[in-house]
Structure 1
Amino acid sequence: MTARMKELAGEIVRLQAELDREIEQRRRALGWSIKRRIIRFEEGIVAQQRQLRISVTGLLKQASPATILSAPVIYSMIVPLALLDLWASIFQAICFRAYKIPRIKRSDYIALDRGHLAYLNWIEALNCAYCGYGNGVIAYVREISSRTEQYWCPIKHAVRISDPHKRYYEFLEFGDAEGYRARLESFRDGLRDPAGAKRAIDAGSRPLP
């Protein structure tokens, strides 16, 4: 990693911390907080939210025919999503154990917490749960596949990739044959011991990802 890349990475970390502070301030302004994955609303907030709830009948009256007709197609995606979720979990349970890579906590990516919102009727809450599950599965699988790519092929593509995963920026440049042979095991070590890899980077002892 070059000095400029380290500088940019540090700036990203600083901005993320600033964003987290702004999010926390916004949470307090909306009257809720979260601690250890438990959501707490201030007194009276739930009652205020219920006043804004639309009945299921009212929601269906507002829906266009296209929305109603397309709903079964949308929900049919639950089958491949559930299979992907199951297969990815089996994959990491077997392969990551074999590679000695720490396994990913599924709960860090799949959140079904929107049902706590009192302003949602049961159809809206179901829709939110479905979207949370679907996007959570994709994020979960993406992290599994990104760790797999770092283990087997930490090389950037020659062409520009739209929205690459977060590990991609640390990968070796396309065509860096010497770097690949010299550093492949370092990338793998970084997966097995992320804390050790960070210490090595900070000390400048070796250029781990």
Structure 2
Amino acid sequence: MPPQLDVLMEKLRAVEAEIEVELAKRREALRYHLENRRIVFEKEALRLQRAIKVTLGRYIRDANPWIIVTAPVIYSLIVAFVLLDVMVMIYQAICFPIYKIPKVRRRDYLVFDRHHLAYLNLLEKINCAYCSYGNGVIAFAREVAARTEVYWCPIKHARRVLGPHPHYQGFADFGDAEAYRTKIDSMTGGVKLDEPNQAP
């Protein structure tokens, strides 16, 4: 990687560390903390959350009719999410050991913790769990696909890519045949990846 890109990547890591510090401050302000990945709210914070909770009956009664009509369309995607989830797990289990690619820990991407929020009613908790699953499966699949791309085709695109995966910056530049061959030759011992930063 060119020196200037190394400098920028180091700045990015520093900013990510600052973000983590700010998130910790925000958790403190909202009166909760993490204990061994478990969320613990202060009693007063829980009391305030329960006070603003909208009951399930009122939530359904006040809902926009179009939201109720389109809900089955949203929830029908569960079939695609489950199929993607299962297929990616099978693909990774079969192929990654052969290619010597480090496996992606699925549990790092599928996070279910919003049910701890006392201000959500049952339906809101179900909706949150559904969104967590859908986005988690897509993030898990993206990381599996990214590690596959690192192995088979670590070349940047000529055009700008919106929201590239974390490994993309280490790819060979478009048109740099020597860098590409060097990267491919280095894969013989298996893919070496930095684990993406995980939230505490």
TM-score (norm 1): 0.88
Asked whether the 8 Å contact 1:151–1:188 carries over to 2, the reply is no
Runs of 4+ in 1 over 3 A off after TM superposition: 187-190, 192-195
More moved, 113-122 vs 34-43 = 34-43
Asked whether the 8 Å contact 1:52–1:119 carries over to 2, the reply is yes
The CA distance in 1 between the partners of 2:101 and 2:146, in whole Å, is: 12
2:187 pairs with 1:181: no
RCO higher in 1 or 2 (8 Å CA, sep ≥ 6)? Answer: 2
RMSD: 1.6
Q: Which amino acid aligns with 2:186?
A: S
Unaligned ranges ≥5, structure 2: 196-200
- The secondary structure found in structure 2 opposite 1:44 is helix
Describe the superposition over 1:52-109 as per-residue Cα deviations: whole angstroms up to 9, x where unpaired: 1101111112211110000000000000100100110111111111112221111100
Asked whether the 8 Å contact 1:100–1:192 carries over to 2, the reply is no
Unaligned ranges ≥5, structure 1: 196-209
Task: Map 1:85-164 to 2 at 5 A.
Answer: 85-164=85-164
Give the match for residue 31 of structure 2: 31
The CA distance in 1 between the partners of 2:188 and 2:105, in whole Å, is: 19
Q: 1:12 to 1:193 in 2, by over 3 A?
A: closer
The CA distance in 1 between the partners of 2:123 and 2:9, in whole Å, is: 42
Q: 1:29 Cα shift?
A: 0.6
Asked whether the 8 Å contact 2:100–2:189 carries over to 1, the reply is no
Asked whether the 8 Å contact 1:155–1:173 carries over to 2, the reply is yes
- The secondary structure found in structure 1 opposite 2:33 is strand
Q: Which amino acid aligns with 2:170?
A: E
The CA distance in 1 between the partners of 2:76 and 2:48, in whole Å, is: 34
The CA distance in 2 between the partners of 1:4 and 1:165, in whole Å, is: 20
Q: Which amino acid aligns with 2:165?
A: H
The CA distance in 1 between the partners of 2:188 and 2:34, in whole Å, is: 35
The CA distance in 1 between the partners of 2:185 and 2:107, in whole Å, is: 29
Q: Which amino acid aligns with 1:64?
A: N
Q: 1:166 Cα shift?
A: 1.4
TM-score (norm 2): 0.92
The CA distance in 1 between the partners of 2:91 and 2:186, in whole Å, is: 23
Give the match for residue 198 of structure 2: none
Aligned residues: 195
